[in-house]
Amino acid sequence: MSIESLCGLTPDEILALIAPEEATMRHAVSVANSIYKKRLASLREFPGIPKSLRERLGTVAGSGLFPPIRTVLSDDGSVKFLFRNEPGQLYETVFIPEGKRQTVCISTQSGCRMGCPFCATGKYGFFGNLTARDMINQVISLPMAGQITHVVFMGMGEPMDNLGNVLKACRILTAEWGLTIAVKNVTVSTVGVEASAREFLETSPYNFSLSLFSPFPEERIRFVAAERKNPAHRIIDLMKQHSGERKRRMTIAYVMVKGINDSDRHLEALKHLAGNSGIRVNLLPYHPLPGDLNESSPPDLMQHFKHNLMISGISASVRRSRGADISAACGLLASGLAEISTPGQAKQV
């Protein structure tokens, strides 16, 4: 008989698992608290439920928690973790400390099938979706789990390509019976899958970020293949419809590449796209992969973009690069994973 993972389940699902004729919702919430708040890996340690129910639970389920198989520390204090789940999928997670803000960047897939040429994850290949359990475990299995204030779905994979599991993970992150992270501190990023983006924006309250790369469709399509079927301007139109929602942030992430997308022409087009919308523009440095001759736009030019966006009434920021020395920065996750093992050869943990 297969063993169910409690991590990734809601109290309703837990109740159905532990003999509802004998248990109550209070028991199910107690089990959820043991997993999500107390991060208990052993069912024997679960408080708040009768011994008979604990024994019954032990025959059909396990905690589903498992630690990373590798940890790498950056000079700037960021930490990258490598996970391998039972099917053998490899994926990475990054913890980013910054004052009182303690962020974890989680993955939603092992690899990615979007095929963006500047991204190491796309070059790694695609080895399947991660479950809500895999996503939540990336948060609660970290040594610093109790310090985490923000969660961003910006790791390996395209979140809108795995929307059901992403939405379930978001619910667990923010639920009172879950991790109780503030809704306004959860952000999901995408290169643009229109149908899923529409569903996400219409049915959930979480922050939304679009990776744009270029404001010109004919140029963007060379770097973001999703542009062909999911034009960025249509995604931005959806974002504009929801940008006024209280405590919800809409962001355009704009990676700046020297001589590619950092001209005054690009700046004016970006101002046109984001103007009078309430959408924030986050300017990011480019991190080239080995063999890539492109380089990031210089800091003064990035500040020039920021200044001109702001005087045009557009909220803008320049994101400081974190974790580049350990291949944990934007676009670098999955670097070197193919050398560890392929997912089909990985051993169960």
Q: Which of 118-122, 227-231, 271-275 is the least confident region?
A: 118-122
Which band of pLDDT confidence, cut at 50, 70 and 90, is reported for residue 179?
Answer: very high
Give the mean model confidence (pLDDT) for residues 114-126.
89
289 has a pLDDT exceeding 90: no
Specify the 3-state DSSP secondary structure of 296. strand
Q: Which residues is 79 bridged to in the sheet?
A: 73, 95
Centre a 10 Å sphere on the Cβ of residue 76 and count the other Cβ atoms it contains.
17
Own/partner pairs, 22-27, CB within 8 angstroms, 24+ separation: 22/52, 22/53, 22/56, 23/49, 23/53, 27/53
Query: Tell me, what's the pLDDT at 226?
Result: 94
Structure tokens belonging to residue 345:
């050869």
Structure-token match 């063999």, residue found? 291
Q: Which of 29-33, 84-88, 339-343 is the least confident region?
A: 339-343
What's the predicted TM-score (pTM) here?
A: 0.94
Q: Are domains 4-62 and 70-345 of this chain identical in fold? A: no
Task: Please identify every residue annotated as catalytic.
Answer: 92, 330
Check residues 310 and 22 and name the one with the higher pLDDT: 310
* Measured torsion, CA atoms of residues 228, 232, 233, 234, in degrees rounded to the nearest 10: 80
Q: Which residues is 166 bridged to in the sheet?
A: none
**CATH code, 4-62:** 1.10.150.530
Query: Tell me, what's the pLDDT at 120?
Result: 87
Centre a 10 Å sphere on the Cβ of residue 259 and count the other Cβ atoms it contains.
9
CB-based contacts of 115, cutoff 8 Å, min separation 6: 122, 225
Query: Tell me, what's the pLDDT at 345?
Result: 38
Q: Which residues is 153 bridged to in the sheet?
A: 188
* All structural domains of the chain with their residue ranges: 4-62, 70-345
348 has a pLDDT exceeding 80: no
344 has a pLDDT exceeding 70: no
Which band of pLDDT confidence, cut at 50, 70 and 90, is reported for residue 132?
Answer: very high
Among residues 291, 212, 195, which one has the least CA distance to residue 256?
212
Which band of pLDDT confidence, cut at 50, 70 and 90, is reported for residue 280?
Answer: very high
Specify the 3-state DSSP secondary structure of 81. strand
Please tell us whether the domain made up of 70-345 is placed in CATH 3.40.630.30: no
122 has a pLDDT exceeding 90: no
Q: What is the pLDDT of residues 134-170, one digit of tens each?
A: 999 999 999 999 999 999 999 999 999 999 999 999 9
Among residues 138, 144, 94, which one has the least CA distance to residue 328?
94
Check residues 223 and 344 and name the one with the higher pLDDT: 223
Which band of pLDDT confidence, cut at 50, 70 and 90, is reported for residue 322?
Answer: confident
Kindly state the percentage of the chain with pLDDT values over 70.
96
Beta strands in the chain, from DSSP E residues, in sequence order: 4-5, 61-62, 70-73, 79-84, 90-98, 101-105, 109-111, 126-129, 150-153, 186-190, 207-211, 250-256, 280-285, 316-318
Query: Tell me, what's the pLDDT at 117?
Result: 85
Centre a 10 Å sphere on the Cβ of residue 242 and count the other Cβ atoms it contains.
17
Q: Which of 238-242, 293-297, 321-325 is the least confident region?
A: 321-325
Query: Tell me, what's the pLDDT at 347?
Result: 31
Instruction: Classify the C-alpha dihedral 184-190-192-196 as positive or negative.
Output: negative
Q: Which of 1-5, 91-95, 174-178, 318-322 is the least confident region?
A: 1-5
Query: Tell me, what's the pLDDT at 273?
Result: 96
Query: Tell me, what's the pLDDT at 241?
Result: 95
Beta strands in 178-278, from DSSP E residues, in sequence order: 186-190, 207-211, 250-256
* Measured torsion, CA atoms of residues 160, 332, 173, 143, in degrees rounded to the nearest 10: 160
Query: Tell me, what's the pLDDT at 18?
Result: 83
Own/partner pairs, 13-22, CB within 8 angstroms, 24+ separation: 17/57, 17/60, 17/61, 18/49, 18/53, 18/56, 18/57, 18/60, 18/61, 19/53, 19/56, 22/52, 22/53, 22/56
Q: What is the pLDDT of residues 186-202, one digit of tens each?
A: 999 999 999 999 999 99
Centre a 10 Å sphere on the Cβ of residue 102 and count the other Cβ atoms it contains.
16
Query: Tell me, what's the pLDDT at 349?
Result: 25
Among residues 90, 67, 96, 89, which one has the least CA distance to residue 326?
96
Structure tokens belonging to residue 139:
């948060």
Among residues 95, 179, 191, 185, which one has the least CA distance to residue 132?
179
CB-based contacts of 139, cutoff 8 Å, min separation 6: 104, 106, 145, 148, 151, 173, 179
Count helices and strands in the chain by DSSP H and E runs = 11, 14
Query: Tell me, what's the pLDDT at 341?
Result: 54
Which band of pLDDT confidence, cut at 50, 70 and 90, is reported for residue 346?
Answer: very low
Give the mean model confidence (pLDDT) for residues 97-102.
94
Q: What is the pLDDT of residues 50-94, one digit of tens each?
A: 888 888 888 999 999 999 999 999 999 999 999 999 999 999 999
Query: Tell me, what's the pLDDT at 265?
Result: 98
